[in-house]
Amino acid sequence: MRAVIALSIVVAAGVLSACAPVQYTKADLDGRIVCDTERMDRIDRAARRENKEVHWVSCPLVTLRVVS
């Protein structure tokens, strides 16, 4: 009985590890251009404080720089 439980735990761990996200390296991320979600969030919060509406046509872009 214990062998079956141990085997099922090992199989479950193997299945779950296959679903783990890919670990990015510095080379993968450095220089990528992505949306600046932090800036968008700051602008949205400021607009809510001032009772203004913000309609995003495109997101502000930022280039990622990885510091090691």
Q: How far is Cα 41 from Cα 65, in angstroms, rounded to an integer?
A: 20
Q: How far is CA 20 from the centre of its chain?
A: 13
pLDDT, one tens digit per residue, over 6-63 is 888 888 877 777 666 777 777 777 888 889 999 999 999 999 999 999 999 999 999 8
Q: How far is CA 27 from CA 21, 34, 60, 61, in A?
A: 17, 15, 23, 19
Q: Look-up: residue for tokens 């800036």?
A: 39
What pLDDT is attached to residue 41?
A: 95
pLDDT at residue 67 above 70? yes
